Structures are given as C-alpha cells and as structure tokens.
Chains A and B, each alone.
Chain A
Amino acid sequence: MTVLIDADTRIVVQGITGHQGTVHTRQMKLFGSKVVAGVTPGKGGTTVEETPVYDSVQEAVDRKQANASCIFVPAPFAKDALIEAVDAGIRLSVVVTEHIPFHDMLVMYHYARARGARIIGPNCPGIAAPGAPSKVGIIPNVVFRPGRIGVISRSGTLTYEIVNGIREIGLGQSTCIGLGGDPVVGTSFVDGLELFEKDPDTDLVVMVGEIGGTAEEDAADYIRHHFTKPVVAYIAGRAAPPDKRMGHAGAIITRGRGTAQSKQTALEGAGVRVGRFPYEMPQLVADVLKEKARR
C-alpha cells in the first residue's frame, strides 16, 4: 500500500503545453504513472506526449476519469487552476508552481479543504510511490527504489540527495512526499505523518526539514503524542544567518524563531534521531531499522 496515490491514480496535467508541463509529462509516464490528460485553455484537441489535451479540467474528468492533477501553470493563474480542479471533482492536486503569493494560497488551501480536496505544495517536487508505480510531480525517476521507508520533505533537490543515498545502501521508499518550501503549504509534516501512521507498508519515516516557521516543532509535538513508528530527521540551514531568505520563501529565521537548533531540540525531545549532515542520513536510517528489528 502507499499513501495518497497508487497504480489507479489517473493524472491530468494542468499547463501541459508549457515547457515544464511537457517535459514532466514524459518523465511521469516513464516512471509508470497514468497521465491520462492535459489541460491548457485554448489548446483543446491537440496532443502532448501522446496525451490528449482539453480546454478544461471538467472535460479531462468526464472523458478520461482523471482523479488527480499536477499544476504547472504560472503563479498569477495558479489559484484559478486549483479552483477549477477542485470544482471538477479532483481530490488531489500537486502544485509544482513556485512564487504563488501566500494570500492566494490561503484561499486555495481553505477552498480545497472545504470541498474535501487535498493540495500538495505549492513550490514542491510532488509525490512518488515507486512500488505502485506512480508519480505526480517532478522528482527525478532515478533516485527511487520500491521499499518500506516513507519520506516527507520541505525541500526538492535535498530530498533527491537523501533518497538517493538511502537507495545506494539498498533500501527503498513506500511513498515520498515533497511538501514544498512556501510559508503556507497544503500538506504539512503533521498531515504527512498522519498518512504514514495508517500505512501498513511504511516502517520508518524520514523527515527533511529546514529553517523557518514551526512545522518541524509541530511535527515533534504530533510524534510525541500520536506517532508509533520510528522517525529520522535532517534539518537544513544550521549555518543560515537570521533575516535572510534562504532561497525558499518559507526558509527564513524571523524574530529569532525557526532556527535549526530549536527544530532539532524539539524533534530529539520527541525521540527522533536527527542527523547533522545529509551524508549521515542513510546510516542513521539503517541503524534505526536494525534497532527496531531487535525490539
């Protein structure tokens, strides 16, 4: 089993005729995902990567039974794209687009929630379940191997780095969720942990956090009270100075809050093993799995 996506996930790519939309439609298909349709208003009737393009998400749902969307449309139009997907009955949208104003994202998040839909992202690499196989988003296909480790991350390339390291020592992933680096995200660490707690095919969760906000502290609180599986974490940004935005809109230490140290302390307080550097992570995962087996 996997979380959120499986072999029956039928993807519609919103913004499929753009460069990124086209490239990643191909990559998703190579991974084994069922990309059943694309949407670009005004380009209906064409095809991209042998995928039919429609003018609206509703058509993609009606004709191809799409049940998840992957959004690549530019930031000024992302809110509209998400609302269209939710209104068409899509219940999972991965928003890859970056630089969406958080005021827009607040509307997107609460709109989706009110209609029972989930957003992953924005500014995220998406989600992949190598065993299904299915992938919605842009995570490189090569880093994965089917397995029993769940991954939740605020980062993109750093996730690839760490997942790849885990693959290289012979372990694999059940599902990997890239939450995105923005201040407001549709799916948080706590949301991801809730999903993995219920997944019988996930033995351990790797969390990749970074400075800014209190999402890792909130996760620590959740783990302490509700999470029964082992968690291993890495927090990027130990060396980051305060008040500098470190590339991600959400990665900033403001008013002394959101430091790597406070996150590490909170997580360790909840029994989470925290690696200091990315290259320590694969061994840490292997060690914790071994301890778990002995218990």
Chain B
Amino acid sequence: MVKLAEWRGKEIFRKYGIALPEGHVARSAEEATSLVSQGKVPLPCVIKAQVLAGGRGKGGAVRFASNAEEVRAAAAAILGLEFKGEKVKEILLEGKVAIDRELYVSLTLDRTLRLPILLTSAKGGVEIESVPDEQILRQPIHPFAGLAQYEKRRAAAFLGLTGGPAKSLGPLLDSLWAAFNGEDAELVEINPLAVVGDRVIALDAKVVIEDDATFRHPEYAEVRDDRTPLEEVAREKEIAFVQLDGNIGVIANGAGLTMATLDVLMQFGGRPGVFLDLGGTDDPAKVAEAFLLMAKAKPTAVFLNIFGGVTRCDTVAKGLVNAMEKLPAQDRFPLVARIRGNNENEGVEILRAAGITSIPDLKASAEATVRAAAARAAAAQGRTA
C-alpha cells in the first residue's frame, strides 16, 4: 500500500485534468512566505500539513492566513507539529476558495462484487465512515464498460447538483476513473469535493497506490514512507517483515500460519514484536538472511514455526544453523523451534545436532516461547536493578 501525501495526490489529479485550487508545497516558513510574496499562492490562503493521518482540521494541522506575516507564523507552527505520531516536514499552501457546498466522491475496490465502486455523498468534509449508508450512493463500475453517462447523471442527481456544477461533475468523474486505472490505485478519494461558483473542484486528495502494481510505476518506489527501515531492507530481500509493538520475534512461512502463530502467542500472554514470513523458499541462504534480519530487531525471544511445503524443513534448519553460527554472542536470542511437514525428520535432526529441540505441538511450543521471553526479560531486569 503506497499512501500518497495530499500534494502528490493532487499532482496526479492535475495530470488527469481534475480541477484544483492553485497550490504549492513548502518545507520551511521562509519558503512559504516567499511563495506568497512572489504571488505564486494567492491571499488569503490555506496552509495544510502534509501528513497521511486524517482529522487535520480539528488537530490544528490546517490553518488560514491573510497576509505574509500570518503565513510565516502558521507555516512555522504547523512545521513544528508532530501530528498523530508523524512529524510534519511539508506543508501545502493553496489560495482560499469560497465554498458553497462540500461533497464526497471516491473510487475503490468492492472485494465482494469483484468490481470497482464509485461512492458519492452530499456529506463531504467529514470521514466517510461516519456517514450513514443511506446517504452514500454506491455504483459498481464494470471494468470492461467503464463509467457510463447515466452513472454520472445519477451521481449528480444524488448530490443535488444542477446547472454548471452538475455539468462539471461528469468530466471530473471521467478523470477520476482514468486516474484510478492509469495509476493502479486502490483508492482515489476527493473529500471534500467543493462546489465553488459554477463548478466542482477537489479541495483534498487521497490516493493509495497498489503495492503489487509498482512494477508498472517505478516513480512510486521512492515515495513510500509507511515502512520502518528494517521493513524496507526485508522488502528488498523479498521477505515479508512487519514490526509490531511487542518483544517476541516470529518466523513462520505463509501469511495465514504467521497470523495464527501470533494469535496463539497472544493467548499465552506473549507480545509479538516482529513477524517475518519466509514465504515459499528452498534456499538456505535466504533463511539465514531472514534470521540475521530478525536479530537486528533485537527480539527478547524468537519462535520459529514452519509447516514445510514448498519450503522444506531441512532447508530452514540449515539456514537457521548457519545464521546462528554467524551471530555474535551479544546478538543471540533464545529460540523455540517447531518444524513440521515436508522433510520434517531431516530438519529436526539438523537442529538436534546444533543443540536445538523442535517441539512438534503448536500449543506447547508457543507456551515455551512465552516462558523463554519472560525469563530473559526478568534476567535483564535483574542486571539493571
């Protein structure tokens, strides 16, 4: 999931011909002030923090200014903010527009229908989750047919638009549909879509690009910022690696088994901190890399839970033993292993030779992991006390 900041979303909207207010990005109060003094951004203007979290208006991350001094003060205030855990590094300055009405429009995927779906609502400017269902028009769009004229007319009528604004909605929806497909988006959302005089314009832009489509869009590779540095390294090595809040590391193969492993650990009071999904591999070197990556996350204890299919148990065991030998003593961690399935006996034997016992029972092995983590945490506390 590549979530784009508002200004990047608006760059895409501009490319597809969606009407927007005049705007520019700044990274310092000085830059913001000069944008205004050079006349690039008209006054009065709105200054918006470029963060991914919603609720910016209420959180003080959107301010208005009517002269250069106010722009400097507002820009400085917003750039100093940490908004819902995200440090504000960029602000977007746009000329303020006279809004007649605030509407909502988006395109996303309906997984059940297996169709894109166009959502429109007259309740713009608030989170769409808070809008009652009957106030949202949902129109599934067939990918082979595209947006039909009647669907656009229906959207305009549902929004209560007539005259100029109604006429300008059609081309805007065509552009939004083109952007959704052309950029391989999971979501293109305009909230609010503002009625300004005789037309509708996009005051905000939320664009989420699909991860799996980045091979068609190398330009998005550099903009993603929702991964931690370790998650990024893992991605390069094609290992699914996710950091959570706890202290126990989990190495498993396959998303479902990984999630089930976390569920079982939680049941016994463990707090998973990192999970690493080996996926399907028959390369011991990749397994070893995964272990070294896990060590960098400094887990209190690690639970290895493998069900061998494509990934054979002996491959995992070899990779594990190689990695453990390479790890300096201070980076080692207590390890509980459970390897089942393809080539199980060979894998168990390799582990046994390296002094690691595989516990075949899922419940027992998860409990052993939680105990090992607790014992190590207690020992560490004893040292510092």
Contacts and interface: CB of A to CB of B under 8 A. Distances in A.
A125 B309 contact: yes
Given A125-B309, A278-B260, A247 B112 contact: no
Interface residues of B, number: 54
Nearest to A109: B114
Nearest to A140: B309
Contacts of A75: 212, 215
B212 A99 contact: yes
B1 interface: yes
Interface in B131-160: 142-144
How many A residues are at the interface, by size bracket?
Answer: 35 or more
Interface in B295-334: 307-310
Nearest to A104: B213
Interface stretch (A56-64, A212-220, A225-233): A212-220
B191 interface: no
Nearest to A255: B129
A182 B265 CA distance: 25
Interface in A226-264: 234, 236-241, 244-252, 255-256, 260
Interface in A134-167: 138-140, 142-143, 153-161, 164
A249 B310 contact: no
A101 B184 contact: yes
Contact of A103 (B111, B184, B211): B184
Interface string A155-188: 1111111001000000000000000010110001
Contact of B210 (A102, A244, A247): A102
B244 A245 contact: no
A284 to B, nearest CB: 15
Interface stretch (B31-39, B67-75, B164-172, B249-257): B249-257
Interface in A200-217: 208, 210-211, 213-215
B263 interface: yes
Contacts of B240: 247
A237 B264 CA distance: 10
A161 B263 contact: no
Given A183-B109, A238-B266, A247-B242, A138 B254 contact: no
Nearest to B226: A243
B115 interface: yes
B254 A157 contact: yes
B242 A244 contact: yes
A76 B211 CA distance: 13
B129 A256 contact: yes
Nearest to A99: B212
B184 A277 contact: no
Contacts of B192: none
A272 B242 CA distance: 32
B259 A250 contact: no
Nearest to A278: B260
B259 A100 contact: no
B114 to A, nearest CB: 5
A241 B286 CA distance: 27
Contact of B143 (A106, A153, A211, A246): A106
Given A157-B309, A239-B266, A246-B242, A100 B212 contact: yes
Interface in B214-252: 215-216, 240, 242, 244-245, 252
Contacts of A125: 309
Given A215-B111, A244-B244, A138 B263 contact: no
A189 to B, nearest CB: 11
A161 B362 CA distance: 10
Contact of A110 (B1, B144, B310): B144
Contacts of A99: 211-212
Interface of B: 1, 109, 111-112, 114-116, 129, 142-144, 181, 184, 186, 210-213, 215-216, 240, 242, 244-245, 252-260, 262-267, 272, 275, 277, 280, 282, 307-310, 340-342, 361-363
30 contacts: A75-B215, A101-B213, A102-B109, A102-B186, A103-B143, A103-B210, A106-B115, A106-B143, A110-B142, A125-B309, A138-B310, A154-B256, A155-B255, A157-B307, A161-B340, A183-B111, A213-B112, A236-B260, A237-B263, A240-B259, A240-B262, A241-B244, A246-B258, A247-B242, A247-B258, A249-B212, A251-B255, A251-B259, A278-B260, A278-B264
Given A160-B341, A239-B265, 12 more contacts: A76-B215, A106-B116, A142-B342, A184-B109, A184-B111, A215-B112, A236-B256, A244-B242, A244-B244, A246-B242, A247-B240, A249-B211
